[in-house]
Structure formats: C-alpha cells, structure tokens
Amino acid sequence: MTTRKLNVLMLFDVPYTPPNDLDYTTFMIGDEWQDERDVMRTLLKLGHTVTPFGVFDDIQPLIDVVRRLKPDVIFNQCESFSGDRAQEPNLPALLELLGVPYTGASPESLALCKDKGLSKKLLAYHHVRVPRFAVSLRERPRLAELKRFVYPGIIKPLGRDASEGIAQRSLVTSEKECLERVRYIHEKLGTDAILEEFIDGRELYVGVLGTGRLTVLPPRELHFRQLPEGAPRVLTYKAKWDERYRRKYGIDSEPARDLDPRTLTHLSDTCKEVYRLFKLRGYARIDLRLGPADDCVFIEINPNPSIKRRDDFAAAARRAGISYEELIDRIVHLPLAG
C-alpha cells in the first residue's frame, strides 16, 4: 500500500439539508450508510484525514467547503442531486471545474453508462456481443418496432439502475405483455424504456480496478437456489433489496466456479475492452450473462459500484489477494497517479 497520507473530503448523498457543523454522526448509523461508514473508517485506519460531507440540493456549501479545506482528493460516493439520480454526472463535472482530483468515473463516462441503449450501440459497433434490443422513448414511443421483437424479452427503464423499475412482469413473452409493460414504464414511472433479449444463462459480475493499467477481479455469480421450477432468474428490485425475499428464494452471489480457462480469458478481455471504451477510471462492475455456448453477453456497466466491506466488489478483490484496506487505499490514490 502507498504511504502518502491525504486530506480527503468524502462526498455522499443525504436526503435533506445537511448540518452546517459537519456533524454526520446521525447519518452514519444503520445499514443505509454502510458504504460511507466502511470507507470512512478504513481511510481513517490508513492514517488519512477524512471530512465527511453530505450533498442534497445546494452546491454552494460544497464549493465553500472545497475552497476552505483544500482537500488533496475527493472520495466521491454521490449518486444523485436533490434525490434525482439523473443528475449524478453533474457532481463530478463540478469537481472538475473546481480543479480537485476525485475518485471514480468522469461525467462523460457516467452519462454514457446510464443510457442502456446508447451504451449497447457503442459496444455493438466495436463487436462486443450485446442482447438484441429496442428503445421506446416516452415522448416518441416506438411501439411498431417493439411489435416485431422476437420474444422473450425483458423491459427496463432506460436510464435507471439498482434494478429500479424491474419486476417479474418485466419479463415478457408476447407483444401484448411487452406493450403493457412499456406503457407502464412511460406512464407510471415517467421515463424511457428499453426492451432487451432475455439471455437465459449464468449471470456474472466482474469488477475492474485501475486507470490505464487494469486489474480484472475474479468473477462473481448470482444464484437463485430456491426458485420454483421454471421460474425465470431475474434480479428484480425486490430480489435485489428485500432481504426476506432474498432468503426465501436463496438469492445470493458467490465466486463463479467451473469456468474453463478460455471463458475466463474471454471474460477478462471483454471487460477490459468495455472499461476502456467507456473511458472509465477508478473502479467499475460489469454485468454479463453466459449464453448456451459460454459466450459472454454484455448486460450493463456500473461505474462507482458499492464498495461496502461485504459487497461483491470487495469480496472479489479479497479473492484476488487485495485486502479491503488495500482496495480503498488504491481507489483514493488513483486520481493522484498522474
């Protein structure tokens, strides 16, 4: 691990106006703040100076604290502004205007990764396999194109993440089901929709760490051990966030096993290519499915994923011989590497 001790400003989302005295004790209690708590404790353990700072709906306090503290680096864990996740790219854009190094993805990369349709077009152009897909914009629905789709398919909100808007009804097997779900996305969620070919295969998560020289972490696999016979393996919002539901159906992830060397090499090469095409830096998680012939099919990319001590990214790093302390130390130093 590096030995340089840093003055770190740690940014994260808060759901209401943050305290003027920078006392975030109440925010650091409970599971909701586990990411922030794990990162801050680890940075302190490593000897860095850490100032936590919550962002809600006003950028002026952030500008003021940056100018006052003059941090060496900002550890950016913000995913929204004023509760709007579409605004996520604008916070690192502000940090670039302020001239302060920060961890994680750039505004350009965040914006591109959020558009599931545009990202797949980019990868298809570069011959990375993606599911067949069609996009329906809320203001200009393309229902005729959706009618020609070859089912089954899965329908998602175009620009949202964390499985938001995904339910069992998102998996559609007919034109009727498809149009009903697309209309629901347009009218009830108020957003654009993407219909993707449903790839019935193993779901893998691959972490990538670095800027320039990349470290591809060992893949993790999502399991549904107690689903009813014939039920589709879809990571719905409930399956991702409802702990009782996860226990009931045996939903969990663990190291991917029984992957032959050829598949592992293909996974690593694909993830490096995707990471570089999106101009990512710092750390990201790439989600893929293995088709019937163990061919890698890109699903989506998650820049700045959760780095809780017990989450997938940190678990994959440990399997690669990278302790949690070393992982956080690498991430915080990457923006300063030149």
DSSP codes joined into one string, 282-329:
EEEEEEEEE-TTS-EEEEEEEES----TTSHHHHHHHHTT--HHHHHH
Q: Is the dihedral angle over the CA atoms 158, 162, 168, 173 positive or is it negative?
A: positive
**Total Cβ atoms within 10 A of residue 129:** 14
pLDDT band at 193, cuts 50/70/90?
A: very high
Q: What is the pLDDT of residue 2?
A: 59
- Tell which wins on pLDDT, 161 or 3: 161
Domain ranges of the chain: 7-103, 131-197, 199-336
Match domain 7-103 to its CATH number in 3.30.420, 3.30.1070, 3.40.50, 3.90.320.
3.40.50
Residue 71 has pLDDT above 90, yes or no: yes
Mean pLDDT of 81-101: 94
- Tell which wins on pLDDT, 186 or 234: 186
Rounded to whole angstroms, how far apart are CA atoms 61 and 94?
13
Of the candidate ranges 15-24, 59-68, 188-197, the one whose mean pLDDT is the lowest:
15-24
Residue 286 has pLDDT above 80, yes or no: yes
Q: What is the pLDDT of residue 1?
A: 61
Cβ pair 51, 8 in contact under 8 A: yes
**Total Cβ atoms within 10 A of residue 22:** 13
Provide the strand spans (E) within 212-293.
Answer: 213-216, 220-224, 251-255, 282-290
CATH topology of domain 131-197: Dna Ligase; domain 1 (3.30.1490)
Q: What residue type is assigned to position 238 of the chain?
A: K
Rounded to whole angstroms, how far apart are CA atoms 3 and 21?
30
Match domain 199-336 to its CATH number in 3.30.499.10, 3.30.470.20, 3.30.1330.90, 3.50.30.10.
3.30.470.20
Q: Quote the percentage of the chain above a pLDDT of 90.
A: 65
Rounded to whole angstroms, how far apart are CA atoms 254 and 244?
19
Range among 117-126, 246-255, 292-301 with highest mean pLDDT value: 117-126
Q: What is the pLDDT of residue 63?
A: 96
pLDDT band at 119, cuts 50/70/90?
A: very high
Rounded to whole angstroms, how far apart are CA atoms 265 and 19?
49
Q: What is the pLDDT of residue 243?
A: 85
Token pair 């890698």 is found at: 296
- Tell which wins on pLDDT, 104 or 231: 104
Q: What is the pLDDT of residue 319?
A: 97
Residue 168 burial by CB count (10 A; 0-12/13-18/19+): exposed, middle or buried?
exposed
pLDDT band at 228, cuts 50/70/90?
A: confident
pTM assigned to the model: 0.91
Do β-strands 171-172 and 153-157 pair in parallel, antiparallel, or remain unpaired? antiparallel
Cβ pair 73, 81 in contact under 8 A: no
List, for residues 293-329, the tens digit of each pLDDT value.
778 999 999 999 999 999 999 999 999 999 999 999 9
Mean pLDDT of 272-289: 96
pLDDT band at 24, cuts 50/70/90?
A: confident
Angle 324-325-326 (CA atoms, 0-180°, nearest 5)?
90
Q: What residue type is assigned to position 327 of the chain?
A: L
Rounded to whole angstroms, how far apart are CA atoms 109 and 92?
11
Rounded to whole angstroms, how far apart are CA atoms 275 and 283?
9
List, for residues 140-166, the tens digit of each pLDDT value.
776 666 777 888 999 999 887 777 888
Q: Which two tokens stand for residue 253?
A: 């992830």
Q: What is the pLDDT of residue 168?
A: 87
